Amino acid sequence: MSSYRIQGATGEWEVVIGLEVHAQVTSQSKLFSGAATAFGAEPNTQVSLVDAAMPGMLPVPNRECIRQAVRTGMAINAQINKWSRFDRKNYFYADLPQGYQISQLYHPLVGEGTIEVILDEKDPEGSTKTIGIERIHVEQDAGKLMHDQHPTMSYVDLNRSGVALMEIVSRPDMRSPAEAGAYLAKLRQILRYVGSCDGNMDQGSMRADVNVSVRRPGEPFGTRTETKNVNSVRFVMAVVESEARRQVGVIEDGGQVVQETRLYDPDKNETRSMRSKEDAHDYRYFPDPDLLPLELDDAFLEECKASLPELPDAKRHRYKTALGLSPYDAAQLTLEVETFQQFEEMLDAVVKASGKAERDLAKRVANWLLSERAGVLKGIDLGAAHPKNTVAANVALIVAANDGVISGSKAKEIFAAYLTSDIDLAAEIEANKQTSDTGAIEAAIARILADNADKVAEFKAGKEALFGFFVGQTMKAMQGKANPQVVNELLRKALA
């Protein structure tokens, strides 16, 4: 892949990107209290006395949050620290009831790891890049401030206060918007596979702080800025692009990039300085004296390891090698958890129903899922969420098409009709059973060839393209129920 460069007035610039991703850990209750974590509750209803930092309240860590962070670390082949500690990060803000955030600075739970990203989604066999992960630590989320409810007041909702986050810190290894986007997408994919984060970026379950700097190719790192709380892959790419251009502009105008916190404005597609956070921070980190060091034993780590699912890279590889799928199909099917789960569930059911081997059916199921059915669902209200879009219905159609009972295109038609009307699926398949009755097909062919003597002559004179016309006419005459393979064979014979 060619290097991404920004063309400035004075020459080329290289952009250097590092991401700090905050991912909400999937858990029922908060990191240090028993209050619920569900999204969208009434304000301050999911707040315990601990989360509100009442006098004398104490934190007790949630095992599941630690477990999920460890599993995540294992999924990126990271070093798991059997001895870690929680530290306090001290600062004052209305969304931070304790006056400090319990985090991990000096001894994080997870050390160095790596993530391999595919640089071009459309070319899954193309070049990949390994992005270094510096660390993953566990920390508390803050509450939420609302500014538009009262003329002179901001309102504080502490429902999020104390929810467990993983902060996943990358190395400054990315060099283009595409790499940053691919990294975030891959990270999200891994977290969703592991089940440690739901990856719902629109609900704030994953946010990225985007560190950007520019330099002349080959020179030392420039001064970086940090754009906070960017909540989509697209926005991360946009931030990198706009912030890198802004920095190039500043430098080329003779200025200096200021190390600062910035905010992204998606409407204007630009970043701006966050003045309110600009006063020099001194977080006075120190080990939280309310908590002892976190020591993990081998049994805990073994359970974490054993409970890891097949991860995206391994799954993609298996789909190609064991199932014989194309690299593109393998990549598409493994992109989202819901997709591969459906695929595997359907494949399994189809194997059971037809008695054939996985490898012989995988391509058919993949085609159905990625193209045939996808086409049908596109035109349907609710799409994939349609209540009749069940595994059983899908499997019935895949099996019928695969066994030659109905044609592939008939399967699509039936599926669309099934979703939008009140028909019985089994009866409809039965009614549209394609025929391999050679007598009937031969009769139809004979009639068509007789009616189209001129075209027969043209074909015989070498206009091979007309073959499709004869197939079409025959299928039409058979009301779409003829086995296309049989039609093909018989037509060839008749036209020979």
Partner 1 sequence: MSSDLTELGVAAIRDGVAKGEFTAVEVAEAFNANVAAAAALNAFIVTTPEQALEAAKANDAKRAAGQPLGKMGGVPIGMKDLFATKGVQTTAASHILEGFTPQYESTVSQKLWDAGAGMLGKLNLDQFAMGSSNETSYFGNVISPWRRNDGGNAALAPGGSSGGSSAAVAARLAPAATGTDTGGSIRQPAAFVGISGIKPTYGRCSRWGIVAFASSLDQAGPMARDVRDCAIMLEAMAGFDPKDATSLNLPVPEWEAGLNGDLRGKKVGIPREYRMDGMDADVAASWDRGIEWLKDAGAEIVDVSLPHTKYALPAYYIIAPAEASSNLARYDGVRYGLRDLPDGAGLQDMYAATRAAGFGAEVKRRILIGTYVLSAGFYDAYYTQAQKVRTLIAQDFKNAFTQCDVILAPTAPTAAFGLGEKSDDPLSMYLNDVFAVPASLAGLPAMSVPAGLNREGLPLGLQIVGKAFDEQGVLNAGLAIEARAQFSAKPEKWW
Partner 2 sequence: MSVDTATVAKIAALARIKLSEAELAAMVPELNGILAWVEQLGEVDVTGVEPMTAVIENHLRLRDDVINADPLTGGDNRDGVLANAPAAEHGFFGVPKVIE
What are the residues binding partner 2 (CB under 8 A)?
Answer: 27-29, 33-36, 42-52, 54, 57, 60-66, 85, 92, 94, 145-147, 149-158, 263, 274, 276, 282, 284, 287, 291-295
**How many CB atoms within 10 Å of residue 440?**
14
Report the C-alpha gap between 265 and 235 in whole angstroms: 9
In the bound state with partner 2, the residue whose beta carbon lies nearer, of 266 and 293, is 293
Residue 245 · residue 14 · CB < 8 Å? no
| Cα of 468 vs its chain's centroid, Å | 41
Which of partner 1, partner 2, none is residue 88 near (CB under 5 to 8 Å by kind)?
partner 1
Nearer to partner 2, 221 or 286 (CB): 286
For residue 236, give the nearest of 258, 266, 214 by alpha carbon.
266
When the beta carbons of 99 and 375 are compared against partner 1, the nearer one is 99
Cα–Cα distances in Å, from 210 out to 35, 184, 238, 489?
31, 11, 11, 61
C-beta closer to partner 2: residue 93 or 467: 93
146's contact among partner 2, partner 1, none, with CB below 5 to 8 A by partner kind, is partner 2
Q: Measured between alpha carbons, how far is 332 from 322 in angstroms, rounded to an integer?
A: 16
Partner that binds at residue 290, options partner 1, partner 2, none, CB closer than 5 to 8 Å by kind: partner 1
Residue 87 vs 329, nearer CB to partner 1? 87
> What amino acid occupies position 58?
L
Residues at the interface with partner 1 (CB under 8 A): 49, 52-61, 88, 90, 92-94, 97-100, 154, 156, 282, 284-286, 289-292
Closest CA to 183 of 99, 240, 243: 240
Query: Closest CB to partner 1 among 39 and 93?
Result: 93
- Find which of partner 1, partner 2, none residue 36 binds, CB within 5 to 8 Å per kind: partner 2
Report the SS3 class of residue 252: helix
Q: Min. distance of Cβ 283 from partner 2 in angstroms?
A: 10
Residue 98 binds what, of partner 1, partner 2, none (CB under 5 to 8 Å, by partner type)? partner 1
Query: 56 is in the binding site of which of partner 2, partner 1, none (Cβ under 5 to 8 A by kind)?
Result: partner 1
CB of 158 to partner 1, least distance (A): 8
Instruction: Report which of 201, 187, 261 is spatially closest to residue 231, judged by C-alpha positions.
Output: 201
Q: How far is the CB of 102 from partner 2 (least distance, A)?
A: 13
Nearest CB to partner 1, comparing residues 300 and 467: 300
Reduce the DSSP state of residue 199 to 3 states and report it.
coil
Q: How far is the CB of 83 from partner 1 (least distance, A)?
A: 16
Residue 38 CB, shortest distance to partner 1, in Å, is 22
**Residue 100 contacts which entry, partner 1, partner 2, none (Cβ below 5-8 A, type-dependent):** partner 1
Q: Which does 285 bind (CB under 5 to 8 A by kind): partner 1, partner 2, none?
A: partner 1
- CA dihedral for 386, 388, 390, 395, sign (positive or negative): negative
- Smallest distance from the beta carbon of 109 to partner 2, in angstroms? 12
Nearer to partner 2, 284 or 359 (CB): 284
Looking at the Cβ atoms of 124 and 143, the one nearer to partner 2 is 143
Contact 222, 8 (CB under 8 A): no
Three-state SS at 215: strand
Q: Are 384 and 343 spatial neighbours (Cβ–Cβ below 8 Å)?
A: no
Q: What is the rounded distance in angstroms from the CA atom of residue 237 to the CA atom of residue 245?
A: 12
Nearer to partner 2, 284 or 492 (CB): 284
End-to-end CA distance of the chain: 51
Q: How far is the CB of 284 from partner 1 (least distance, A)?
A: 4
The answer for residues whose C-beta is within 8 angstroms of residue 285's C-beta and 6 or more apart is 87, 88, 89, 90, 103, 105, 106
**Which one of partner 2, partner 1, none is in contact with 46 (Cβ closer than 5 to 8 A by kind)?**
partner 2
CA dist list (Å): 341 to 122, 335, 363: 22, 11, 16
What the block records as the tokens of 372 is 């045939």
Residue type, 366: A
Please, what is the Cα angle at 455 between 452 and 458, to 5 degrees? 155
- Nearest distance in Å: CB 31, partner 2: 10
27 binds, among partner 2, partner 1, none (CB under 5 to 8 A by kind): partner 2
